[in-house]
Chains A and B, each alone.
Chain A
């Protein structure tokens, strides 16, 4: 049976992905260029038995999203840069308390209110380090409208599987562009639900991990009464000032991501195997990069595209394969050079790493990348 083809905007595709993954609660606050996600789900959630609420601010939206998940529903919120900054307090709460939820950040330009209607990629470091304290992060970066759908499903799956917030980091270009995409049939994509406890409620310890380092999570109201706090806590969920225990718990949380690198990290390697020049590009910039690689190959230049769909954890094991082989790495991004630091860290001086950086609200064009490819060093 042929799949349904629809001509959708990236933000609309996020809605389709959320519904496919089983999202039944959305709490948000309107902000350009992410609003179509809220608008879409306000219309479609009730049709599948879910609810939508427009909260008073982004802090409240993040808080309600976490509350919805604790009450047992797969929960989503979406925003853009300034809203993401406001969400950081409660995002940290979700990390420490290990509450699954998905946050879509449709990046725009500039710090503060910045360039509201223009694209940007300058929240990539915030996505990893934005909230205070140490915590793991899973951040996905789609490049196409189809991927907006598929990666939203994957974000929910990873969030449920590893019991933590997952960020879908996209940008205004992909959020607002339209492409014909295939809507997956029910059952075609894997949909994962969180592990729920099966033990006697008396024995339930909400932060006692299984062998995969992930503790089962009970819905409030399901008969497992327990305490959740944003303070560092023991396995039973109650606050503790035991620093050694807090350290062990936070290291476990890092490890529950890092030990599952192979399951979490997804990369597209296009024409990389014999490449002398590798473009490291993500999100909308990767679209121009791919075009540049195709044109460069036509000119006989051995160029390749390394495109992380998982930006955090950083795909260093994948990238290391090309260190010592490629002579040059180019990192085009709509910021003044953020992921270049990470590429530099992995390349360790064994090749030249060059950034192409713009923050003027215009995309990076294939021509700009080809020009850099043609430059020998």
Chain B
């Protein structure tokens, strides 16, 4: 049966700005299906984003939507959530937005364990500004600002989130659209700060420069190199070389920030 996405879309704002072959449309579809599955009311959802290709997503979605400054979506989201904890707050952004300029906000949102769901669209590159390297660009890869190959070491976003204190951390890819929907739903249901890193190819900004082939090839690369989390645990570092784990990587229960604050200060 055809799925009715239109209930959640601002139809007048489509078509979207994303390039042919970009995985962000897949993420938006999975996000819609996951939100629908939670049964949340559209009026209680707030979607915040920063700047970049990924961050244009809220404009297409029929919620309370806040397109903020570069890297700052989690800081705005924190204000919204603390001022009105009844709202379901979702923050999203790309790898550059969340882990370079927004890196400080990202680690501190993880540390507080505030009840915000955070999606990081990881396409290894700054797409909107035309293909400069980001904190997740693999070492030696090419970018417009790394014409000799990238000298920087990479962030592992999921490990960064776990280390900083996020209580739900998962990774998925745009190839795994159906499992992605389930992971997003799990993240939305989790009480506390949840992070889902979503690997998405950027054929225009990254793929072309690094001879990754067609957009379809880039999606197949995700399929071939993604290892389910359970299996990855049993594999050696050598076996995992060039591969990455997908699924729920970390899940613990800890007091949620606003609830803990209210209890601490005697607010009912």
Instruction: Point out residues on A near B: beta carbons under 8 Å.
Output: 24-25, 27, 46, 49, 51, 53, 55-57, 59-61, 63-73, 75, 89-90, 93, 219-223, 225-231, 238-239
Rounded to whole angstroms, the CA-CA distance of A73 and B84 in the bound complex is 8
Rounded to whole angstroms, the CA-CA distance of A139 and B72 in the bound complex is 25
Is A71 a contact partner of B43 (Cβ separation < 8 A)?
no
Is B87 a contact partner of A60 (Cβ separation < 8 A)?
no
Closest to A236 in B: B12
Is A225 a contact partner of B105 (Cβ separation < 8 A)?
no
Rounded to whole angstroms, the CA-CA distance of A49 and B68 in the bound complex is 27
Taking the nearest CB of chain A, how far is it from the CB of B137, in angstroms?
Answer: 24
Residues of chain A contacted by B108 (CB below 8 angstroms): 55-56, 60
- In the assembled complex, 11 residue pairs joining A and B whose CB atoms fall closer than 8 Å, in A order, are A24-B83, A27-B82, A46-B265, A53-B78, A59-B72, A63-B76, A70-B66, A71-B81, A75-B83, A221-B43, A222-B43
Contact status of A228 and B82, CB under 8 A, knowing A220-B87, A239-B59: no
In the complex, besides A90-B69, A222-B43, 20 extra interface pairs with C-beta distance below 8 angstroms are A27-B78, A53-B82, A53-B261, A56-B104, A56-B108, A59-B75, A60-B104, A63-B68, A63-B75, A65-B79, A67-B48, A67-B81, A71-B79, A71-B80, A71-B83, A72-B83, A75-B79, A93-B68, A221-B43, A227-B10
Taking the nearest CB of chain A, how far is it from the CB of B2, in angstroms?
Answer: 25
Instruction: Point out residues on B near A: beta carbons under 8 Å.
Output: 10, 13, 42-44, 46, 48, 58-59, 62-69, 72, 75-84, 86-87, 104-105, 108, 258, 261-262, 265-267
Neighbour of B65 across the interface among A25, A75, A93, A228, CB < 8 A: A228
Interface centre among B13, B64, B69, B265 (most CB of A within 10 A): B64
Is B79 a contact partner of A229 (Cβ separation < 8 A)?
no
Contact status of A227 and B59, CB under 8 A, knowing A63-B69, A73-B83: yes
Is A67 a contact partner of B67 (Cβ separation < 8 A)?
no
Taking the nearest CB of chain A, how far is it from the CB of B236, in angstroms?
Answer: 37
Contact status of A228 and B105, CB under 8 A, knowing A51-B267, A220-B80: no
Closest to B66 in A: A228
Rounded to whole angstroms, the CA-CA distance of A238 and B261 in the bound complex is 35
Is A66 a contact partner of B87 (Cβ separation < 8 A)?
no
Is A67 a contact partner of B44 (Cβ separation < 8 A)?
no
Rounded to whole angstroms, the CA-CA distance of A206 and B18 in the bound complex is 26
Contact status of A238 and B13, CB under 8 A, knowing A25-B79, A60-B72, A221-B43: yes
Is A71 a contact partner of B76 (Cβ separation < 8 A)?
no
Residues of chain A contacted by B265 (CB below 8 angstroms): 46
Is A64 a contact partner of B76 (Cβ separation < 8 A)?
yes
Rounded to whole angstroms, the CA-CA distance of A231 and B267 in the bound complex is 37
Q: How many A-B residue pairs have CB under 8 A?
A: 137
> Which 4 pairs, one residue from A and one from B, show the smallest C-beta to C-beta distance?
A67-B79, A64-B79, A63-B75, A46-B265
Residues of chain B contacted by A93 (CB below 8 angstroms): 68-69
Closest to B84 in A: A71
Neighbour of A46 across the interface among B80, B83, B266, CB < 8 A: B266
Is A67 a contact partner of B59 (Cβ separation < 8 A)?
no
Contact status of A220 and B78, CB under 8 A, knowing A71-B84, A225-B42, A239-B59: no
Closest to B62 in A: A225
Taking the nearest CB of chain B, how far is it from the CB of A23, in angstroms?
Answer: 11
Taking the nearest CB of chain A, how far is it from the CB of B73, in angstroms?
Answer: 8
Rounded to whole angstroms, the CA-CA distance of A59 and B84 in the bound complex is 21
Rounded to whole angstroms, the CA-CA distance of A70 and B48 in the bound complex is 12
Closest to B257 in A: A53
Rounded to whole angstroms, the CA-CA distance of A229 and B67 in the bound complex is 5
Is A46 a contact partner of B267 (Cβ separation < 8 A)?
yes
Is B59 a contact partner of A238 (Cβ separation < 8 A)?
yes
Closest to B107 in A: A56
Contact status of A227 and B58, CB under 8 A, knowing A71-B79, A221-B84: yes
Is B80 a contact partner of A51 (Cβ separation < 8 A)?
no
Is A220 a contact partner of B64 (Cβ separation < 8 A)?
yes
Rounded to whole angstroms, the CA-CA distance of A64 and B59 in the bound complex is 21
Residues of chain B contacted by A231 (CB below 8 angstroms): 67
Closest to A56 in B: B108
Closest to B109 in A: A56
Residues of chain B contacted by A75 (CB below 8 angstroms): 79, 83
Is A71 a contact partner of B87 (Cβ separation < 8 A)?
yes
Is A68 a contact partner of B72 (Cβ separation < 8 A)?
no
Rounded to whole angstroms, the CA-CA distance of A27 and B108 in the bound complex is 14
Rounded to whole angstroms, the CA-CA distance of A70 and B87 in the bound complex is 12
Rounded to whole angstroms, the CA-CA distance of A72 and B81 in the bound complex is 11
Taking the nearest CB of chain B, how far is it from the CB of A300, in angstroms?
Answer: 57
Taking the nearest CB of chain A, how far is it from the CB of B12, in angstroms?
Answer: 9
Is A51 a contact partner of B104 (Cβ separation < 8 A)?
no
Is B63 a contact partner of A67 (Cβ separation < 8 A)?
no
Taking the nearest CB of chain B, how far is it from the CB of A238, in angstroms?
Answer: 6
Is B43 a contact partner of A228 (Cβ separation < 8 A)?
no
Is B43 a contact partner of A223 (Cβ separation < 8 A)?
yes
Interface centre among A46, A66, A227 (most CB of B within 10 A): A227
Interface centre among B42, B66, B79, B84 (most CB of A within 10 A): B79
Contact status of A225 and B43, CB under 8 A, knowing A51-B267, A63-B72: yes
Rounded to whole angstroms, the CA-CA distance of A69 and B80 in the bound complex is 8
Closest to A64 in B: B79
Closest to B51 in A: A230
Residues of chain B contacted by A228 (CB below 8 angstroms): 65-67
